[in-house]
Structure 1
Amino acid sequence: MDKIFQDVADNVAWLSGIGADPTGGTTRLLYSDYWVEAQQGVKKKMDDAGFTTYFDDIGNLFGRVEGSTYKDETIMSGSHIDTVVNGGKLDGQFGVLAAYLAIKYLKEKHGQPLRNLEVISMAEEEGSRFPYVFWGSKNFFGLANKDEMADVADFEGVKFVDAMHGAGFDFRDETKPLRDDIKAFVEIHIEQGKVLENEGKAVAVVNSIAGQRRYTIVLNGESNHAGTTPMSYRKDTVYAFSKIVTQSIDKAKKIGDPLVLTFGKVEPKPNTVNVVPGETLFTMDCRHTDEAELHSFTAEIEQDMKTICAEMGIDISIDLWMDEAPVPMDPHIVSVLEGVCKKEGLNYRVMHSGAGHDSQIFAPRVPTAMFFVPSIGGISHNPAEDTKTEDLVEGVKALTEALYELAYK
């Protein structure tokens, strides 16, 4: 236990130090110098552990231990190496380090597996530098369209193509066949929520990733003088917005978990003290693990909004700009992960993920499941992001045993 504890603590400190931001946290954006340094550093660690390492065309890093018997079957684990700006020390990178340590321990203790074991350190997931998410995993499955990236630039005007070439990579060679050897993918990640901490659990088995519907909604009424416009004559869009929010959230609370509803951005106009707001723009984010329930609830809320606005003489425009279906994890892999938790006597629970992960790109294509470890205070994407090292160790132990079940038996 002491060795694992020290290994986890040392590796987390090492990797989060690459791109350490003077204002706190870690900033390691796709194809930046710090990103290259991190990928090369992980590669060296895997080289030193006796893994066969290589990059694909776009910069996903792989570390492989060959199997003895089922050479066309690979058990893969990993996550993404990029961060958000001023991010924490665990999001993404813990999954990479845990996979490396788990496979290293298995190799040292049990020797060659029956099936190939492979770490993947994915190039990008966050979309923090360029307006594109899951660049690493989408390329792995041939889902990324290079034509979409031709004119994309970052916040400093650096073109995506130039940054990629500068880091030594290029677009995927589409003449190469996609891999068909991945028999299981297991990702471990911090929860980014408070459920495990509040319940005193050290680890979770994730059985699904929630679907998401995101909206931008604009209410148009009438701007008018705050002193000379009687209440009965007003077409006040903030008042309409407040009724929409109250009614919608009351309904969401009544339904309860796993449904969640968020009104996150609000822009009233003219946004001044003495004018009735004639326009209000706001966003709505709704998530559920059941697609039918997600669609049913949002359809009801949309109709409620229209009814409220019609009664108040206000026009409404509803733009549904994200509609991602829930992604279930593979029942067999979930069963394997849960069996490991029971066998090892881990303090665990089964839960869904309300946040998106690379696993949602993998799951429709290869058998996939996830582990979560707790997040202190539920904080993520923030320099304060943290997890007790003891809980990180429990996660590495769970992942190690899961990979043993999948690759050695």
Structure 2
Amino acid sequence: MELATKLDERLKAVSSIGSDPTGGMTRLLYTDSWLEAQKYVKQQMESFGMTTTFDDVGNLFGRIEGAENPDETIMTGSHIDTVVNGGKLDGQFGVCASLTAAEYLVAKYGQPKRSLEVISMAEEEGSRFPFAFWGSKNFVGVANNDEVQDATDADGKKFVDEMRRQGFDFSPKQTRRDDIKAFVEEHIEQGSILEQEHEQIGIVNSIAGQRRYDIVLKGEANHAGTTPLSYRHDAVYGMAKMINNALDKAHQVGDPLVLTFGKVVPKPNTVNVVPGEVLFTMDCRHTDAEYLVQFTKEITDMMTQVAAEMGLDISIDLWMDEKPVPMSDQIVKTIEDKAKAGKYKYRVMHSGAGHDSQIIAPVYPTAMIFVPSIGGISHNPAENTKFEDLVEGVKLMADTLYELAYK
């Protein structure tokens, strides 16, 4: 089989499912387009001899039994859902890459020694319902069904009703699989490092931890024309001081620390009133768990001090605290060895974005392969990667799976 041709066919076919008029992709969990995409992947799996199954929540598995050690499984794959008006590669490239690499190996070398399995995970993004990693969390048995029992989407449709409408339901408590010896996920970088450094491959050795906060400052709303600056309790002024101090400190620290203030909601949010209240968010990420906690504590202590000096009330809500997740040294080394042998242009790097691999890695030996993102753009209809880079990524995936499943 011609690897590049099959990859191109699959990406074009799956990108037509859930495409919207803007040129982007909207394929959300348990929608009709989501099920159509999973059925397409199922047909593609079966086209080269894979045995396919859905689990209870809609994760799709395609499997080639191993000839010598069928009870040892090498798994690869990614997620099939998208964000709203997203790009054509996030998630589904990893699914198509895994499918294409597996088909290439079976066509060239026949049945593997160990079982080879591709997973198309039901959901990762959390774009329709307020719950992310539904697919991978169910796969490794850490999903909390209580968290989605009353969840609804923007149209008021219930998670449970939509899941059952598509023929799926909650998983009964099952024994976690013990046959999986490695999981490898391929993904676009969603950043600009590989492109800027003129490299085609990233080998991911860790996924950054994330701490996210909602911060509310309360002062006093007042007339913009009659209230002297020295008399004001301006919530936005306080926020501006805090953000400036925090970002200055973050720039001094540098990589791999990143700090983002992405949402600001002032009240009353009108041109001629001193804002008496403001809500803003903080997203901080780092690959070292202890340093992430230390840095964010220094920032929140600074915010508390600034609020006191300015006569503002402050509340700080830490609503996400995800620890960094290291990848398997052994699987990373396997990928790197194949990258060296194949003369791929690569670097070992961390991921600043979250992925299904961060859920799977604490349970099974896991690593990731990145390919460049043009302009670092993702979650956007403009998301793109040079086709030759996509092909190089699939070739390295095939080389890696050959080492893990055939040797």
TM-score, normalised with respect to structure 1: 0.98
Counterpart position of 2:251:
253
Distance 2:383 2:124 in 1: 18
Structure 1 position 235, deviation (Å): 1.2
Amino acid at match of 1:47: E
Q: CA deviation at 1:23?
A: 2.6
Matched residue type, 1:34:
S
In the alignment, what sits opposite 2:273? 275
Match of residue 353, structure 2, among 352, 355, 376? 355
In the TM superposition, residue 248 of structure 1 has moved relative to its aligned partner by: 0.5
Q: Distance in 2 between matches of 1:394 and 1:127?
A: 29
Matched with 1:336 is 334
Q: Which residue of 2 aligns with 1:113?
A: 112
Unaligned runs of 5+ in 1: none
Correspondences of 1:15-54 after superposition (within 5 Å): 15-54=14-53
Residue 164 of structure 1: aligned partner: 163
2:325/2:361 contact within 8 Å kept: yes
Distance (Å, rounded) in 2 between the aligned partners of 1:5 and 1:123:
26
Runs of 4+ aligned structure 1 residues displaced above 4 Å come to: none
| Secondary structure in structure 2 of the residue aligned to 1:9 | helix
Match of 1:393 among 375, 391, 394: 391
Counterpart secondary structure, 1:281: strand
* CA deviation after TM superposition for structure 1 residue 3, in Å: 2.6
SS of residue paired to 1:172: coil
**Which residue of 363, 366, 375 corresponds with 1:365?**
363
TM-superposed CA distance for 1:401, in Å, is 0.4
1:298-352 deviation per Cα after TM superposition (whole angstroms, max 9, x unaligned) = 0000111111111111111111111100000011111111111101000001110
Amino acid at match of 2:130: P
Map of 1:132 onto structure 2: 131
Alignment partners' CA distance in 1, 2:160 and 2:227 = 55
CA distance in 1, matches of 2:211, 2:331: 27
- One-letter amino acid matched to 1:337: I
8 Å CA contact retained: 2:182, 2:364: yes
| Aligned: 1:217 with 2:215 | yes
- Native 8 Å contact 1:206 1:351 kept in 2: yes
Residue equivalent to 2:77: 78
Q: Once the two structures are superposed, what CA deviation does each residue of 1:87-111 show, in whole Å capped at 9, x if it has no partner? A: 1111000111111111111111111
What is the aligned partner in structure 1 of residue 6 from structure 2?
7
Other-structure match for 1:193: 191
- The answer to whether the Cα contact below 8 Å between 1:205 and 1:334 also exists between their aligned partners in 2 is yes
Deviation, 1:47, is 0.6
Among residues 203, 206, 209, which one is paired with 1:208 in the alignment? 206
Preserved contact between residue 207 and residue 350 of structure 2 (Cα < 8 Å): yes
Separation in 1 of the partners of 2:161 and 2:276? 44
Q: Deviations for 1:103-141, whole angstroms, at most 9, x for unmatched residues?
A: 111111111111110000001111111111111111111
Residue 66 (structure 2) pairs with residue 67 (structure 1): yes
* 1:99 matched residue in structure 2: 98
SS in 1 for 2:169: coil
| Structure 2 partner of 1:318 | 316
CA contact (8 A) 1:8 1:389 kept: no
Once the two structures are TM-superposed, the CA of residue 161 in structure 1 deviates from its matched residue by 1.5
SS in 2 for 1:169: coil
Q: Is residue 163–residue 169 contact of structure 2 (8 Å, CA) maintained in 1?
A: yes
Q: Specify the SS of the correspondent of 1:205.
A: strand
User: 1:376 pairs with 352, 374, 377, which one?
Assistant: 374
The whole-number CA distance in structure 2 between the counterparts of 1:114 and 1:4 is: 22
- Letter aligned with residue 363 of structure 2: R
The answer to whether the 8 Å contact 2:3/2:101 transfers is no
Distance 1:5 1:44 in 2: 19
1:402 and 2:400 correspond: yes
State the superposition RMSD in angstroms.
Answer: 1.1
Q: Distance in 2 between matches of 1:309 and 1:18?
A: 50
How far the C-alpha of 1:147 sits from its partner, in A, is 2.7
CA apart distance, 1:24: 2.0
CA distance in structure 2 between the partners assigned to 1:245 and 1:387 by the alignment: 34
Distance in 1 (alpha carbons) for counterparts of 2:71 and 2:17: 35
State whether structure 2 residue 146 is matched by structure 1 residue 150. no
CA distance in 2, matches of 1:33, 1:381: 21
Q: State the Cα distance separating 1:4 from its structure 2 match.
A: 2.3
Question: What secondary structure does 1:38 align onto?
Answer: helix
The aligned counterpart of 1:122 is 121
- Structure 2 CA distance, aligned partners of 1:113 and 1:24? 39
Counterpart AA for 1:353: S
1:290 counterpart (288, 291, 302): 288
Aligned positions, number: 407
Which one of the candidate residues 231, 234, 237 is aligned to 1:236?
A: 234
Give the Cα–Cα distance (whole angstroms) in 2 for the partners of residues 159 and 275 of structure 1: 40
Match of 1:308 in 2: 306
The question of whether the paired residues in 1 share the 8 Å contact of 2:3 and 2:104 is answered with no
Match of 2:163, SS state, is helix
- Read off the aligned partner of 1:48 and give its amino acid letter: S
Secondary structure of the residue that 2:2 maps to in structure 1?
A: helix
| 3-state SS, counterpart of residue 296 of structure 1 | helix
Q: Tell me, in whole angstroms, the C-alpha distance in 1 between the residues paired with 2:17 and 2:59.
A: 18
Task: State, as a whole percentage, how many aligned pairs show the same letter.
Answer: 66
